[in-house]
Structures are given as structure tokens and as C-alpha cells.
């Protein structure tokens, strides 16, 4: 499917959400009826799905008439596919929602309000959910999705490749206050020159999902738009400096794989990767020596970036009330602790090193403290905006012109603002 056609489908589908949300009933099957709930997710990772299925099986013991299945949709087209299903009358009962599309879903009226059922569920402890974690998923005091994953980005480092290239280990860089973006790129460049392996990979970016570059932009305090969402930030000095740094790292230093080139850190093909701790399950059991560090310090100082994912109940699903009850079970205190193995929780009582260490045996306590705990406390959420699907495509097409060695960055970034300013102002 062509990009233009895909974009039109997303926009049309999101436009239909408001109608769907206000016209659909919120009834459900009677308690004695057999109920099949479907939840869309982006992950196909076996460890993630085993955990989800285990929680669903536990729910089924108390509700033998309910069966829950998890439907994996491709990451790149996840939101497009989900909104197309909704518009086509094939809405899932529950959906994993990315932070970048949260404003559209929350404002659409397509999601079932959750505050009452969460607060009325015995032993749920709704007041334990951090208000800051709920901000993106709430409107006018109502909750429309539960932020089941509030996950800071960190940098996984292959110490074996660093050692082979004559570089300091990750811990040495960190302990000597040398964990800066300049040094990180210098190390990545040296690994590439010495071993032919990739230096630094921004996982899931692939010159398409540009919002993942916020994990680098933050070092310059650069943002795609202002806090009010109405002012374009691509033509600001901070963004120009950040993008110049990235461009040089790609085309001059060879520290990042160029367009059309891929490398998998977890297969040992790269020195470093920026991603979240949910990817730790991909680490080989008997592979290379690795470490996990916070994002490097930039010219604007230390910072952290958080990716969030919410679980929402679709009003026009077949069994919204039963789906809401399952969501309350899936996100209660006990199950949130299980999910914390991959998805850092929004519950204040679980955001403790000793608690997360039990469910994250791959990570050392100091890694949990400096990347997860401090990241959640100090981080900002990845970019999101109403109408994000359309904005995303316009920015992507604008950035496509910059992923060339001799690109005019200033003109290109100014041009992006020209493209998206009318959408930001709406």
C-alpha cells in the first residue's frame, strides 16, 4: 500500500472514532455466556506473550466462560491496522495504544471510561497509580486507558565490541563522567572502523519512526513542537544543532548505520542500541558481555525520555464491560508486578529497586536505579499530538530529504515547519 493511501486510511479511521465512540453501545454478554476477548498488541516476543497468556489463564480460572487472545499486529503499521479494524466494524475488545496516538484515542470518544471500574475493583489500589503517568491517558478527570508501560529509554552496550576496538567499557565511561554524546559517537565510530560492525543503532527508527530520535534530541533540549503543541520546533536552534550532530554521526563519523542499512544489537551486530528494557529479553543467554546505561549527557545536560503504552477498552468491541473487568485484573497490583519484568509500572509502590530487581533478574540493581527509576522520575514522554498520523507522515517526508550526505539541513528543517504548522495550529 502506498504511503498516501495508508495515511488517508488512518485519518479517515481516526475521524470515524468519534462517531463510533458516541454511537456504540457499552453493553456486553451476560455473565453466563461464553466470551471471547481479543486484545491487539504490537509484540510477537514469546516471553511477552507467555506472560500475557499466563495472566489471561489466571483470569479464566475465576471466569471460566471468558477466553482472552492476544492479536499481534506489525509494529510499523500497528496504529494504521488498529484504526482500520475499528472503522471496519472489527474492533478488538482491548488495544495496546502507543503514546504518539494517545491524544487522538483519548479525545475520540471511542474508548470506554475506566475510572469507576478501576476504583470499584476490590484491592485494586487505584490511588497507587502515579498521576503523572495518567496525564496522557486522562481527560477532565476521567481515565480512558491504563498506562501499563512507562518505560525509559536506555543504551545497551556490547562491552566485547568496545574492548576489541580498544575502547573503555560502558561502566568506565559512566564512572569517569565521560558518558556524553560526543564520546558515545566517538566510541561507536571507532567500533565501526575497527570491526566493521555498526556503532550505535536507534532501535525501531530505521529512518521512518523519527519520533524515536527524541532519545537523542533531548541532549540539546530540542523538541519537534512546543509544550503547547502549537509552535513548530524543527526550525529552532536547538533542533538544528541536534540534527547537525546526528547527520555528522551518520555520514561523516559512520557511527550510526546509514539509510538502507540495518544491524541488530542483540545478534551482536552493533556496539550500542537505544531502546527500552522490554528488549532485554532479546539478549543472548551465552552471548556477549553487556551493560545498560542511561542516555548520554548532551550540551543541555542530563535528561531522560520515556515511552508509554496504554491499554484501552473499545466501546464498540463486542464485550466492553467484560473487557474492562479483565483490564482491571491485568493491571492490579500483583499482575503489574509481573508485567514489570518487561514493562515498568505506573504504580508508585512498585517503583523501587528491590521490587523491580525481583522481576528483572537480567538487570543489576544499579542498572534499574540509574535507567528505570531515575528515568521515570526525571523523564519526558516521547512526542505526541492530536492528528499525529498526518503530522508523522509530513515530518517523515521532510526528513527524507535530509538523509543524504550533502543535505541542506537548515532549509530542510524550515521546510518541515512549513508543512506541519497548519496542523499544529488547529
Q: How confident is the model at residue 287 (pLDDT cuts 50, 70, 90)?
A: confident
pLDDT of residue 277 exceeding 90: no
> d(Cα 55, Cα 57) in Å, to the nearest integer?
5
- The domain tally of the chain equals 2
Q: Which of 309-318, 350-359, 366-375 bottoms out in mean pLDDT, i.e. has the lowest? A: 350-359
Q: Percent of the chain having pLDDT more than 70?
A: 92
Q: Which helix (H) or strand (E) holds 206?
A: none
CB of 365 closer than 8 Å to CB of 296: no
Whether 8 has a pLDDT exceeding 60, the answer reads no
44: CATH: 3.40.190.10
- Per DSSP bridges, beta strands 146-158 and 270-276 are antiparallel
Distance CA 27, CA 24 (A): 9
Distance CA 316, CA 319 (A): 8
Say yes or no: 21 and 91 in one domain: yes
Checking if the pLDDT of 94 tops 70, the result is yes
Q: Say yes or no to pLDDT of 329 above 80.
A: yes
Residue 11's closest CA among 386, 308, 313?
A: 386
Q: Indicate whether 189 and 127 sit together in one domain.
A: no
Q: Is the pLDDT of residue 20 over 90?
A: no
Domain shared by 80 and 170, yes or no: no
> Averaged over 28-54, what is the pLDDT?
86
pLDDT at 359: 79
Q: Average pLDDT in the 122-145 region?
A: 92
Q: What number is the average pLDDT over the span 18-46?
A: 68
288 Cβ neighbours under 8 A, 6+ residues apart: 158, 159, 160, 161, 268
Write phi, then psi, for 226 (nearest 5 degrees). Answer: -70, 175
Q: Is residue 180 within 8 Å of residue 352, measured between CB atoms?
A: no
* CA gap 356, 360 in Å, rounded: 6
pLDDT tens digits, one per residue of 378-400: 888 899 998 898 999 999 999 99
Question: What cell was used for 200?
Answer: 550505535
301 and 311: one domain?
Answer: no
Q: Please report the pLDDT score of residue 3 as a whole number.
A: 45
Query: If 0-12 CB within 10 Å is exposed, 13-18 middle and 19+ buried, where does residue 250 land?
Result: buried
Measured torsion, CA atoms of residues 226, 227, 229, 234, in degrees rounded to the nearest 10 = 20
Quick one: 396 and 275 in the same domain? yes
**pLDDT of amino acid 13:** 53
Find the largest Cα–Cα distance for the chain.
Answer: 66
Same domain, 267 and 401: yes
**Based on the domain organization, do 22 and 146 belong to the same domain?**
yes
Looking at the structure, do residues 52 and 31 belong to the same domain, yes or no?
Answer: yes
Both 16 and 147 in one domain: the answer is yes
Q: At what angle do helices 46-62 and 320-330 cross, to 10 degrees?
A: 110
Shared-domain flag, residues 251 and 220 = yes
In the predicted model, what is the mean pLDDT of the chain?
90
3-state secondary structure 257-268: CCCCCCCCHHHC
In this structure, the answer to whether residues 282 and 225 fall within a common structural domain is yes
Q: Strand 270-276 to strand 198-202: parallel, antiparallel, or no bridges (unpaired)?
A: parallel
pLDDT tier at 28, thresholds 50, 70, 90: very low
Strand boundaries in 103-237, DSSP class E: 138-139, 142-143, 146-158, 198-202
Tell me what pLDDT residue 308 has. 92
- For residues 159 and 377, the answer to whether their CB atoms sit within 8 Å is no
At 362, is the pLDDT very low, low, confident or very high (cuts 50, 70, 90)?
A: confident
Task: Assess whether pLDDT exceeds 70 at residue 30.
Answer: no
**pLDDT > 80? residue 404:** yes
Domain that holds residue 410: 154-305+384-424
Domain identity same for 275 and 249: yes
pLDDT band of residue 320 (cuts 50, 70, 90) is very high
3-state secondary structure 207-241: CCCHHHHHHHHHHHCCCCECCCCCCECCCCHHHHH
| Higher pLDDT among residues 407 and 75, named by residue | 407
Amino acid at each position: 500500500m502506498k504511503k498516501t493511501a495508508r495515511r488517508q486510511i488512518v485519518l479517515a479511521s481516526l475521524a470515524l472514532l468519534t462517531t463510533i465512540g458516541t454511537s456504540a453501545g457499552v453493553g456486553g454478554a451476560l455473565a453466563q455466556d461464553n466470551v471471547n476477548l481479543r486484545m491487539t498488541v504490537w509484540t510477537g516476543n514469546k516471553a511477552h506473550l507467555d506472560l500475557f497468556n499466563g495472566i489471561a489463564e489466571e483470569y479464566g480460572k475465576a471466569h471460566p466462560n471468558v477466553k482472552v487472545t492476544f492479536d499481534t499486529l506489525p509494529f510499523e503499521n500497528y496504529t494504521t491496522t488498529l484504526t482500520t479494524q475499528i472503522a471496519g466494524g472489527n474492533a478488538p475488545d482491548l488495544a495496546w495504544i502507543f503514546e504518539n496516538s494517545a491524544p487522538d484515542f483519548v479525545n475520540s470518544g471511542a474508548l470506554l471510561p475506566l475510572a469507576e471500574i478501576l476504583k470499584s475493583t476490590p484491592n485494586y489500589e487505584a490511588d497507587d497509580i502515579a498521576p503523572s503517568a495518567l496525564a496522557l491517558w486522562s481527560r477532565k478527570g476521567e481515565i480512558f486507558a491504563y498506562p501499563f508501560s512507562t518505560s525509559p529509554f536506555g543504551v545497551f552496550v556490547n562491552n566485547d565490541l568496545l574492548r576489541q576496538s580498544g575502547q573503555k567499557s560502558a561502566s568506565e565511561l559512566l564512572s569517569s563522567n565521560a558518558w556524553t554524546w560526543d564520546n558515545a559517537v566517538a566510541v561507536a565510530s571507532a567500533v565501526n572502523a575497527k570491526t566493521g560492525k555498526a556503532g550505535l543503532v536507534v532501535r525501531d527508527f530505521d529512518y521512518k519512526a523519527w519520533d524515536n530520535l527524541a532519545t537523542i534530541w533531548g541532549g540539546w533540549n530540542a523538541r519537534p513542537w512546543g509544550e503547547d503543541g502549537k509552535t513548530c520546533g524543527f526550525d529552532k536552534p536547538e533542533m538544528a544543532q541536534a540534527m547537525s550532530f546526528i547527520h555528522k554521526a551518520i555520514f561523516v563519523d559512520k557511527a550510526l548505520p546509514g539509510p538502507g542499512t540495518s544491524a541488530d544489537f542483540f545478534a551482536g551486530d552493533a556496539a550500542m542500541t537505544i531502546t527500552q528494557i522490554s528488549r532485554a529479553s532479546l539478549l543472548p543467554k551465552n552471548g556477549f558481555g553487556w551493560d545498560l546505561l542511561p542516555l548520554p549527557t548532551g550540551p543541555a545536560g542530563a535528561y531522560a525520555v520515556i515511552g508509554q503504552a496504554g491499554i484501552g477498552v473499545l466501546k464498540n468491541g463486542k464485550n466492553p464491560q467484560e473487557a474492562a473487568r479483565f483490564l482491571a485484573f491485568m493491571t492490579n497490583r500483583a499482575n503489574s508486578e509481573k508485567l514489570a519484568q518487561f514493562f515498568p509500572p505506573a504504580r508508585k509502590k512498585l517503583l523501587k529497586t528491590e521490587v523491580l530487581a525481583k522481576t528483572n533478574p537480567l538487570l543489576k540493581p544499579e542498572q534499574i536505579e540509574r535507567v528505570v527509576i531515575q528515568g521515570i522520575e526525571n523523564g519526558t514522554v516521547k512526542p505526541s499530538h492530536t492528528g499525529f498520523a498526518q503530522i508523522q507522515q509530513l515530518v517523515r517526508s521532510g526528513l527524507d530529504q535530509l538523509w543524504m550526505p550533502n543535505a541542506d539541513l537548515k532549509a530542510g528543517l524550515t521546510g518541515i515547519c512549513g508543512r506541519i504548522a497548519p496542523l499544529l495550529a488547529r
